[in-house]
Amino acid sequence: MTDKTVRLGVLGLGTVGAGTVKLLQDNAESIAAKTGARFTVVAASARDITKQRDCDLEGVTLTTDPFEVVNADVDVVVELIGGYDLARELALAAIQQGKHFVTANKALIAKHGNELFAEAEKTGALVAYEASVAGGIPVIKALREGLAGNEISQLAGIINGTTNFILTEMRDKGRDFADVLAEAQALGYAEADPTFDVGGIDAAHKLVILTSLAFGIPLNFDGAYIEGIEAITTEDVNLAGELGYKLKHLGIARQTEAGVEMRVHPALVPESHLIAKVDGVMNAVLVNGNFVGETLYYGPGAGAGPTASAVVADILDVARQLGSAKENTIANSGYTAGLSNAAEVLPAEAFNCEYYLKLSVQDESGALAQVTSVLADASVSIDAVVQHEPKGESACATLALITHEVNEAQLNTAIQALEGLDIVAGNVTRMRVASF
| Chain positions contacting ligand NDP, by CB under 6 A | 12-17, 45-48, 51, 66, 80-82, 86, 104-106, 131, 135, 188-189, 191-192, 302-303, 307
Least distance (Å) between residue 16 CB and ligand HSE: 9
Q: Which does 162 bind (CB under 5 to 8 A by kind): ligand HSE, ligand NDP, none?
A: ligand HSE
Query: 3-class DSSP state for residue 197?
Result: helix
283: amino acid identity, one letter:
N
Binding site for ligand HSE (CB under 6 A): 135, 160-162, 189-191, 197, 202, 301-302
197 binds, among ligand HSE, ligand NDP, none (CB under 5 to 8 A by kind): ligand HSE
Give the helix/strand (H/E) hosting 309: helix 304-321
Helix, strand, or coil (residue 211) = helix
Give ∠ CA 356-362-367 in degrees, rounded to 5: 70
Tell me which DSSP letter residue 323 carries: T
Partner from ligand HSE, ligand NDP, none contacting 429, C-beta within 5 to 8 A by type: none
Helices 408-419 and 367-377: angle between axes, nearest 10 degrees: 150
List, in sequence order, every beta strand (DSSP E) within 363-405.
Answer: 382-388, 396-403
CA-derived radius of gyration, the chain: 24
Known catalytic residue at 141: no
Of 159 and 353, nearer to ligand NDP (C-beta) is 159
Q: Phi and psi of 429, rounded to 5°?
A: -85, 135
Rounded CA-CA distance 166/249 in Å is 10
Q: Which is nearer to ligand NDP, 259 or 303 (CB)?
A: 303
- How far apart, in whole angstroms, are the C-alpha atoms of residue 222 and residue 142? 25
Least Å distance, CB 20 to ligand HSE, is 14
Give the C-alpha distances (Å, rounded to integers) separating 399 from 117, 360, 390, 431: 50, 6, 10, 14
Q: How far is the CB of 334 from ligand NDP (least distance, A)?
A: 18
Comparing every residue's Cβ against ligand HSE, the nearest one is: 162
Q: Which is nearer to ligand NDP, 203 or 252 (CB)?
A: 203
d(CA 83, CA 107): 6
In whole angstroms, the minimum distance from the beta carbon of 303 to ligand HSE comes to 8
Judge contact between 382 and 399, C-beta under 8 A: no
User: For residue 251, which of 265, 269, 261, 237 has the smallest C-alpha distance?
Assistant: 265
Choose the contact partner of 14 out of ligand NDP, ligand HSE, none; CB within 5 to 8 A by kind: ligand NDP
3-state secondary structure of 171: helix
Considering beta carbons, is residue 12 or 216 the nearer one to ligand NDP?
12
CB of 175 to ligand NDP, least distance (A): 20
Residue from 99, 106, 111, 206 carrying the catalytic annotation = 206
Contacted by 105, from ligand NDP, ligand HSE, none: CB < 5 to 8 Å by type: ligand NDP
Closer of 216 and 300 to ligand NDP (Cβ) = 300
The interface partner of residue 113, options being ligand HSE, ligand NDP, none and the CB cut-off 5 to 8 Å by kind, is none
- Inter-residue contact 269 to 276 (CB < 8 Å): yes
Residue 160 interacting entry, from ligand HSE, ligand NDP, none, C-beta within 5 to 8 Å by type: ligand HSE
What single DSSP character describes residue 142? I
Min dist CB 91 to ligand HSE, Å, is: 18
* Beta bridge pairs of residue 282: 300
Residue 159: CB minimum distance to ligand HSE, A: 7
Closest-by-Cβ residue to ligand NDP is 14
| Residue placing its CB nearer to ligand NDP in the complex, 90 or 375 | 90
Active site residues: 206
